[in-house]
Amino acid sequence: MAKQRPEPELPEGLKALVKDIGRPVSTEDVDTFGRLQEIQDRSHRLRAIVKAWKDQQTQDRRMREQYARWLMLALVIQAAVVNVVFILIGFQVVTFEPWTARTFMMAVFGEITVLILLVVKYLYTPTSDRILDFLDDPVKKTARQATKATRKQKRP
């Protein structure tokens, strides 16, 4: 007659939670469970990093868009004021010495040019690839190689 295993003694609170007692757990089962848990932990970490990066990029875009709108509005108003003053000088409603008018016009258009340069240079910079620092080595190497190849293609 086959020897049956005795039922393990379980506390009353756990008896309702345990549905069935299966085969004994082997070391391979423990290793497989450990690898599965590690994969799930890594997946959760990567998803959290990518979500944080996406949120940061979205906030960064919103902030840059807001600054760009305010600067463009200031540029339009300034250009309109300069044009109105230029027209008033042309109809001799307002009189200035010629050097004063020329200096004023050149200074304002120089300022507009510098503001446009600032908008283009600082508000529309390429996105950051610093998220690649958090990724695992094989993924990081592939992504960095692709980034370097893209940068080399953009260079004249």
Mean pLDDT score, 15-35: 75
Domain spans, the chain? 34-143
DSSP label of 7: P
Give, in order, the Cα–Cα distances in Å from 40 to each of 15, 25, 37, 46, 154.
Answer: 29, 21, 5, 10, 38
Rounded to the nearest integer, the mean pLDDT of the chain is 78
Q: Which two tokens stand for residue 5?
A: 């295993």
- Rg (alpha carbons) of the chain, rounded to whole number: 34
* pLDDT above 60 (res 156): no
Q: What is the pLDDT of residues 55-89, one digit of tens each?
A: 988 998 898 889 888 888 988 898 898 889 889 98
Alpha helices in the chain (DSSP H): 12-15, 27-90, 98-118, 137-154
Q: What is the pLDDT of residues 43-53, one digit of tens each?
A: 898 888 889 88
| pLDDT (0 to 100) of residue 64 | 84
CA dist., res. 123 & res. 142, Å (int):
29
Mean pLDDT score, 119-129: 72
| pLDDT (0 to 100) of residue 133 | 65
Mean pLDDT score, 11-35: 74
